[in-house]
Structure 1
Amino acid sequence: MAFDGLFAHAMVNELKNTLVGGRVAKISQPYSNEVILTIRANRHNYPLLLSANPNYARIQITKIPYENPQTPTNFTMMLRKYLDGAKIQDIWQLQTDRVIYLSFTRRNELGDQITLLLSIEIMGRHSNVILIDSQENKVLDAIKHVPVQQDRYRTLLPGSTYRTPPKQEKTDPFSEQDFFSELNKQFPNRDVLASELMKAYQGFSKLSGLLLADTLHSAEYKTVNEAYKSFLEKTESPTPVIITHNDKIDFSFFSGQMEVQSTWETLSELLDKFYQEKAQHDRVKQQGADLIKVVKNNLRKNERKLKKQEKELKATENADFYRIKGELLTTYLYKVKRGMTSVTLPNYYNNEQPEKINLSNQLSPSQNAQKYFKRYQKLKNAVKYLGEQIRHTKSEINYLESLASTIELADPSDLPEIKVELQEQGYLKSQKNSPAAKNKRRKSLSKPAEFTSNDGTRISVGKNNKQNDHLTMKIAKNSDFWLHVKNIPGSHVIVHSSSPSDETLTQAAQIAAYFSKGRSSSNVAVDYVPVKNIRKPNGAKPGFVIYEGQKTIYVTPEKEEIEKLK
């Protein structure tokens, strides 16, 4: 991703114009690596996201809603102690590095004015958010503690001396341009020049290097210095864009000659769009790790059980083999003597071909025959029993696969309901008397996702199995239409109309395909049928229904089209 030093420079300018002079109105930590400071400035509330996520570290104003945990973390409590009501004095960048400082002032309990720093370090897996007492240059706390055993140069623990990240032996692109001119002469090739810029200049990613190389080769500028100056000015007045390069989607503060996917008003809006799905998937994976583990373990267990059951069922195909031997022993009983361990008899089922039959020398001839008949009867009875067990195991596997798909497509706010479902189905132990469990029982079921087709018809989507049941069996009218992907896990979709147009049905089918395991596929089969044709068998798992009289439509889900219908 291209949140490099140059993009950070542009973001600092945007945040300074919006937030400096504002006060901290609220502090929350919705996820382990992310903090949100709600800044009240110019009569508006701006949720400022500070992320130390290893993959999506960034600083931005966000419009994405977050649900806070019931119990605040120690880091949250420390931030509230020192920053609640504090005023933002300044925002700046450490040279052109991916380190951004927010300076706050406030009064302490004695009425003295103190200055505090909040450092946001955007450095991959080393990303961090650090609260610093600037007078004493001491770390008050960090979102990720770094003990001396992990980093001798830079310990990040409460009370430790704050040290800036190690300085890179690179040139600041805003202070030195002569060296750049030499690089441009030595490396006229675009890709090579971009790589050399990364090595020589602080804050350059490969993408920024390519954008600068394109700027230099543009006929718009007369000299190298003019092109370089224009490039740096783009960080002061950016044009936020999502672009395509090397068949990958990325973002930047301007497009250069890259293919533009979309343009945004602010850098923060750009990051909301770019990271929303990626970061959300990562949060679900992080917060739902225990649920995912339970589902996968039970899925593997049932898959092993199914293999064993199918193997046993295959063994029952030899049932007639034991019956025939029992009948041959009964027919030729006079030829069998007690104490024999085997006997060869003519098989009248096979043109009198001789058949060797093993015997127990501890049993009488008739008892040996009965032993074969009992074995035959046992296998015959097993066919019915195993058939039922296999159907049950397959049903269990289908249910667990639907749960896995639900978690994969879930929002973080959906996870508590999925956890309750796993508890109700016996996959997780339920802490019935805990305060959290009581709160969950009191909490009503969350609402399905809502969409509107181009002709104004309302479309509802269940986001988990409990929602699917409630939507289909309680909310939907008999005259409404129900949709679901064919033969794969997915959400229930309801079109709230008794006679939807073909366009609405197609759009609803696209939504059904998008909210299913077939999201990334093309030409996905989606069944649709009036809700009156839907039945839920007694004792069926959540989300499971049967239906008849369906029609099938084939669609390819497109995220952009789905977003337009929200």
Structure 2
Amino acid sequence: MATAQGMSGIDVRAVTHELCARLPLWIDKIYQFETRTLGIRLNGENHAKYLLLIEAGRRVHLVKNFPAPPKNPPQFAMLLRKYLSGGKVLAIRQHGLERVLIFDIGKGPLTYRLIIELFDEGNVILTDESYRIIKPLRHHRFKDRDVVPDAIYTMSGTDPTGSLENLAATLAGDGRDLVRALAIAGMLGGTYAEYVCRTAGIDKSTPASNADPKAVYAAIRALFDLVQHTGRPVVSATSCEPVVLATGAESIPDDKNQFAGFSEALEAFYPMTKAEKVRVASKPKLSQEERIHKYQETAIKKFDEKIKKTQEIVAAIYENYQFVAQVISSLDAASKRLSWQEIEHHLCDTSTTDTKRIVAFYPDEAAVEIDIGKKMKIFVHDSVEQNAGRYYDVIKKFRKKKEGALAAMKTVKPKKKMIRHDIIPMKKLWYHRFRWFVTSDGIVVLGGRDASQNEELVKKYMTGGDLFVHADVHGASVVIVKGKTEKMDEVAQFAASYSGAWRSGHFSADVYSAQPNQVSKTPQAGEFITRGSFIVRGERTYYRDVPVAVGIGLVLEPQATVIGGPPAVIRSRTKAFAELKPGQYEPNDVAKKVLRLLRQSITPDEEKLLKGILNTDTVAAFVPPGGSDISGTP
């Protein structure tokens, strides 16, 4: 099921099926609204238009409207337009049950692949037919693969749920119980893994290697069929599900709202991106309940239109009863002695008023489409009444859907206590394992936690456009400024605070900066350089008597995390804040005191949602070495 953090593999399967049902499609125009949010305008048959929203690492689904695009399209959007605009979508597929969606797009004699990753930080990657990367949205180098231009895009091999043999091998080699094996190795997740166990009639605590793979595989295929063909998408306060899994339940649970399609449900569930908020800034803000109510009204209107259209088709059948009966009789007899290709060829050569009313052939269904004021499909092996009955069934189906939607709208649900569910944890970035902060003008500043990290920052991450900063005392963090900043007072305070000056109880320190080419690990003859230390040659820029102080705070929007650094910077960005200065309390005690202080500014409900974000470890990561006092507290 989809949560605020993103979609699951089952959700991707449901969206994939929804998109495939609209093929063939053609790429019209591509937009990029934010750093990781893109949109693709798609054209379908019969002048159909679709809008696909992609938020890398989180979601992909159709929407009714796009945010307003930027005046100047970003470079990545322009590159995708160059390669893909006007191309035909040949296939849309998911890689196993992974959160990876792949579009095969043909343009002229060439085929391209647009790969959408919804796991971790996410990515959108354009490759050629052989999976050689042309350009990714985000460049990455991992231990086992590179996502950079000219590298080959690689994916995991075996799909555990792809065949009975694969599943049997996966279960046989898994030492966990069945539900955990399916949830983790099978990539089903906990909710769907438990459902598969129930459907297969196997206790979930059964060792995976002892479970009957045939029964499990049949249950998995039944789940996939349910998600793809019998879906009843619902939205609750905390999740969006492509199908209701309550066995035998015909009604929607009280805390859930039903939608006609999964994309509609996902659009109602996910909060707007920044770009969407800008687009609707002048419009009144709707609550989630109001948005759901609006979608239900739209669905009812569509049901009425479908019912009216189908009723008109039934009326046209009986108004033209003799012609319809003649078409059925003639084609039924002809199909017994001629192929459908021969029938179509014969009728195309016969230019009569009646034959011209036959506008399309469907050999695989033994049916034709006729135009008698209304276009309709007629099955030639059924009677006139049986053909009309097919359309009556459609009317009954949509009347039932309309009744369900009306009942849901009339249901008065008890108002629940307002709880925040829009708290989204900040995803781990590569530099979060160092000390770090972002200056007021948006430049990332990194600091080593120990000698090993000092070595790593200089040798691996310091480049020509950076700045080397260090407190002029023994035992200090190496600080690297990743770009040009006008806020060197903030950088200097960061370097002074995470140095031996704090440990010695000093309230200020001198700090200097130098260019990367001035920093060396090569000593003079007879000298020795310890690990984590460097020689700086040439002129330095000094910052005298820099005050030492550290701010630690809690950020909730747009993503929740604990941050630390110069107090003035941290205070302006956080909901809850504490300021540290050299003092008497040990780092562990200080971390606990700060944690209690931050928790006082949030509600109990927010505290539950922040359990994995706001804790002693995340706070302690920003506490300087040595004793500290918390400003304003005893």
TM-score bracket relative to the smaller structure: 0.3 to 0.5
- Using structure 1 for the length normalisation, give the TM-score: 0.42
Q: TM-score, normalised by structure 2?
A: 0.38
Bigger Rg over Cα: 1
